[in-house]
Structure 1
Amino acid sequence: MKIAFVGKGGSGKTTLSSLFIRHLAAHEAPVVAVDADINQHLGAALGLDEAEAAALPAMGAQLPLIKEYLRGSNPRITSADTMIKTTPPGEGSQLLRIREDNPVYEACARTVRLDGGDIRLMATGPFTENDLGVACYHSKVGAVELCLNHLVDGPDEYVVVDMTAGSDSFASGMFTRFDMTFLVAEPTRKGVSVYRQYKEYARDFGVTLKVVGNKVLGQDDVDFLREEVGDDLLVTVGQSPWVRAMEKGRPARFDELEAENHLSLQTLRNAAEESYGNRDWERYTRQMVHFHLKNAESWGNAKTGADLAAQVDPAFVLGERSAVPQPS
């Protein structure tokens, strides 16, 4: 299942996404974690030192490889140069799976050892000096969207994406790629403003959204969040000595995390599993095609010099039955 953590800058979404990833690893679940935030901090939150985090390969720099692999033998895609971030798979496309080894993971993912198990970590890559004034961050996040469009995942497998802050996630169709979106909100007016934006933008796309109240100090904070977001409030998280020690670079074993926070993380997992059970692969594929056609008309056709609508395979539906391994 695919899970996103979103929220305004400083809300604690990276910390909570890293705790959730640790929780999954402790329960021996296969996990691919993706840092898609313009501020790349997920690696550090998962215990990498500064040098290790800086050495993570940038997905944005591997776009040619990613495109060439994913297009496979799809006859509707004449070259990797005509693929854009929204290009959907079709007959002959190479699909990604959580547990496999493939050239995309080899180039873009690194193994991180956590208490209880290993996870794969991928990162879009930070803004570089060469990007300043000539590129937007969404060009890097496009590599993540392309991979999610070609990913077949099962109910006991997890992709966890730490998204860019605020409502920037709506600059593409990637916000529809998730079974569950956890919006991390502080109990303040600014803290819930991003929630209102997300709720409004996602209304027509069947996005499952739950709020995780963070930095909650007491019942008054809980009451405030409940009043502002209603039944979308799933769980709240307070101050954590374990997290504070982790942020100082001195984390204890994960099983020493406070019991109430372990319960909160299990609540997140239960909600995600329930949402995955409602996944509609046909709608999932239809939304993918919708955003591809929209991007093709808006800018993709002009940029590539091709009719990108012709890349759509009308008979293809992404799903578990399409997960038969294909030859490289």
Structure 2
Amino acid sequence: MKIAIAGKGGVGKTTLAGLLARSFAAEGKHVLAIDADPDANLASALGIPAGRYAHLQPFSHMKDLAKERTGADSGYGGLFILNPKVDDLPDAFCVEHAGVRLLLMGTVEHGGTGCVCPEHTLLRSLMKHLLLERRDLVIMDMEAGIEHLGRSTAEAVDLLIVVVEPGQRSIQTTRQIEKLAADIGIKKIAYVGSKIKSQEDKAFLASALPAEKMLGYLSLNETIRDADRTGAAPYDIGGDFLEELLAIKTRLLDYAG
């Protein structure tokens, strides 16, 4: 199963990605977690000690590797390989913790409307490999723009989960993500309500989003906030939110089919 998670910054998508990854791994699943958000925080949400991932670089920053794999440093007039070898990279550059393997993707900064450069080519080929060729259960923590996904890989995404909090700005971001997802051909989109304080919050989201696509809710929780401040994994601390997570997982598996 391949799951992408997106949402407005600060809405709680990284928390959800970390909880799902740890929960599936605890069941014995082979879980590959991909941090594809420029503000990379998934390692902390997974509970990986800082010393274990401090050396990791996002693939988007590995310019020498990108040039080597694409042949861009060969001097042939700027031409390079568009389908470089990447199948060995996940195992070579991951950090494993509690049954979850983590990869950092990063984002290629560029001007204009597109980028055909070694780094972008490497990221695109790697994402295609992870989604189309590997059998891991993949959980991707995306930025709101879901820019790592393209038409060639969108059909491999079993489910795009949009994390949304009860507020108009979050709903607006959700609409933008929905449009981007439709444009590239993602077929299944669902929602998780986050930072819920009351029934009124649930009613607000119910008025804006289709009920049949709502997987569940994560309440605003001091334990999760404390874990974020200390760099601990909410999954390791535990609390009532794990029951909410179980309900979300059950609905997710049913909805994704």
TM above 0.5:
yes
Deviations 1:160-187 (A, max 9, x none): 11111x2353874355441111101110
**Pair 1:203-2:182 in alignment:** yes
Question: Relative to structure 1, is the Cα distance of residues 137 and 122 closer, same or farther in structure 2, using a 3 angstrom cutoff?
Answer: farther
Amino acid at match of 1:109: C
Match of 1:109 among 94, 98, 102: 94
CA apart distance, 1:228: 0.5
Secondary structure of 1:5's counterpart equals strand
CA apart distance, 1:63: 3.5
**Residue of structure 2 in register with 1:290 after alignment:** none
Question: Relative to structure 1, is the Cα distance of residues 176 and 197 closer, same or farther in structure 2, using a 3 angstrom cutoff?
Answer: farther
Q: Distance in 1 between matches of 2:111 and 2:103?
A: 25
**Residue of structure 2 in register with 1:311 after alignment:** none
**Residue of structure 1 in register with 2:18 after alignment:** 18
- Say if 1:3 and 1:160, in contact at 8 Å, map to a contact too: yes
**Pair 1:63-2:66 in alignment:** yes
**Residue of structure 1 in register with 2:205 after alignment:** 225
CA apart distance, 1:21: 1.2
- Say if 1:67 and 1:83, in contact at 8 Å, map to a contact too: yes
**Residue of structure 2 in register with 1:82 after alignment:** 81
Question: Relative to structure 1, is the Cα distance of residues 252 and 188 closer, same or farther in structure 2, using a 3 angstrom cutoff?
Answer: closer
The percent identity for this pair of structures is: 24
Match of 2:147 among 159, 164, 169: 169
Q: Distance in 2 between matches of 1:65 and 1:32?
A: 25
TM-score by length of 2: 0.77
**Pair 1:147-2:98 in alignment:** no
Match of 1:242 among 209, 212, 223: 223
- Say if 1:124 and 1:141, in contact at 8 Å, map to a contact too: no
Question: Relative to structure 1, is the Cα distance of residues 256 and 47 closer, same or farther in structure 2, using a 3 angstrom cutoff?
Answer: closer
Aligned positions, number: 241
Q: Distance in 1 between matches of 2:43 and 2:101?
A: 11
Amino acid at match of 1:14: T
**Residue of structure 2 in register with 1:30 after alignment:** 30
Structure 2 gap ranges (5+)? 72-78
Secondary structure of 1:35's counterpart equals strand
- Say if 1:186 and 1:213, in contact at 8 Å, map to a contact too: yes
**Residue of structure 1 in register with 2:193 after alignment:** 213
CA apart distance, 1:248: 2.7
Secondary structure of 1:82's counterpart equals coil
* Pairwise CA RMSD: 3.4
Q: Distance in 2 between matches of 1:120 and 1:202?
A: 26
Q: Distance in 1 between matches of 2:2 and 2:249?
A: 11
Question: Relative to structure 1, is the Cα distance of residues 125 and 246 closer, same or farther in structure 2, using a 3 angstrom cutoff?
Answer: same
CA apart distance, 1:236: 1.1
- Say if 1:95 and 1:152, in contact at 8 Å, map to a contact too: no
- Say if 2:146 and 2:177, in contact at 8 Å, map to a contact too: no
Secondary structure of 1:237's counterpart equals strand
Q: Distance in 1 between matches of 2:256 and 2:68?
A: 30
Deviations 1:66-88 (A, max 9, x none): 669xxxxxxxxxxx93216xx9x
**Residue of structure 1 in register with 2:9 after alignment:** 9
CA apart distance, 1:234: 1.8
Question: Relative to structure 1, is the Cα distance of residues 135 and 189 closer, same or farther in structure 2, using a 3 angstrom cutoff?
Answer: closer
Q: Distance in 1 between matches of 2:124 and 2:36?
A: 10
Amino acid at match of 2:7: G
Question: Relative to structure 1, is the Cα distance of residues 132 and 201 closer, same or farther in structure 2, using a 3 angstrom cutoff?
Answer: closer
- Say if 1:2 and 1:177, in contact at 8 Å, map to a contact too: yes
Please say which of residues 173-182 and 141-150 is displaced more in the overlay. Answer: 141-150
TM-score by length of 1: 0.62
